[in-house]
């Protein structure tokens, strides 16, 4: 699978062709396609999934229910509810074809790249956590550099970089589904609100609630959970501590 940088020429079309080829078989088999967008809006680096999910949700009505989206800004999917989501998918009478979308950390030269890979996504690997694998296909966006203080790197990722990735993923998915629909002889009408205006209509500063220092959950191809209701853990001291004597 190619690695596509969001600033490359025709990045949306290139990614759209890859997604179309990957989704062609389940689409022809009339299998429901579920875009499972993992992450939380409490961390800019981890917001790729729910931001994309909020944009892609409009495809549900446009495709007559053949495409479903789970994981949006209003109802995110992250570590605290991922186990339940995976269990529900496994117990579904008609199993959907799951496309897992998530942010990840990687090498500096790969920041801004999107990759499509077959097989399940392994959440938690970016922050050394173990969570259930999920998905038949994974779409990963490298939002920042990994290897050191991952939680804070995700928290301090630039929103503009994430928004550009959201735009490319959303437009590419729109192209892919539109092309598949065209093969069956009908035109997919672009629903109101899909990629209508950028940036997304966030609340005004007076309406925003104060967020904790650390988000409720973080992911970067790596979903994890920070305990609710308490302050973040203090940084480790670099000085050696002498043993206490009675």
Please report, in tens digits, the pLDDT of each residue of the chain (246 residues total).
779 999 999 999 999 999 999 999 999 999 999 999 999 888 899 999 999 999 999 899 889 889 999 999 999 998 889 999 999 999 988 999 999 999 999 889 999 999 999 999 887 666 567 778 899 999 999 999 887 777 788 888 999 999 999 999 999 999 999 999 999 888 877 655 555 433 333 323 333 333 333 333 334 444 332 233 333 334 444 444 434 444
Residue pLDDT, tens place only, 59-109: 998 898 899 999 999 999 988 899 999 999 999 889 999 999 999 998 899
CA 126, CA 124: separation in Å to the nearest integer? 6
Q: For residue 210, how many other CB atoms are within 10 A of its CB?
A: 4
Burial class (CB in 10 A: 0-12, 13-18, 19+), 34: buried
């Amino acid at each position: 699978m190619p690695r596509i940088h969001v600033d490359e020429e025709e990045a949306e079309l290139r990614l759209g062709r890859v997604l179309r080829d990957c989704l062609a078989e389940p689409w022809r088999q009339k299998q429901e396609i579920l875009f499972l967008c993992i992450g939380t809006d409490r961390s800019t680096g981890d917001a790729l999934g729910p931001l994309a999910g909020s944009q892609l949700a409009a495809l549900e009505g446009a495709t007559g229910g053949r495409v479903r989206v789970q994981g949006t800004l209003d109802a995110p999917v992250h570590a605290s509810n991922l186990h339940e989501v995976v269990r529900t998918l496994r117990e579904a009478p008609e199993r959907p074809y799951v496309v897992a979308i998530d942010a990840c950390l990687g090498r500096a030269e790969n920041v801004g790249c999107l990759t499509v890979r077959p097989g399940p996504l392994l959440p938690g690997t970016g922050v050394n956590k173990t969570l259930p694998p999920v998905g038949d296909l994974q779409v990963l966006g490298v939002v920042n550099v990994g290897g050191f203080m991952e939680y804070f790197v995700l928290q301090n990722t630039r929103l503009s970089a994430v928004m550009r990735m959201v735009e490319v993923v959303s437009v590419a998915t729109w192209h892919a589904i539109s092309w598949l629909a065209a093969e069956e002889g009908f035109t997919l009408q672009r629903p109101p609100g899909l990629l209508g205006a950028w940036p997304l209509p966030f609340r005004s500063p007076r309406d925003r609630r104060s967020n904790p220092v650390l988000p409720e959950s973080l992911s970067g191809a790596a979903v994890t959970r920070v305990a609710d209701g308490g302050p973040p853990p203090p940084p480790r001291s670099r000085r050696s501590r002498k043993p206490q004597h009675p």
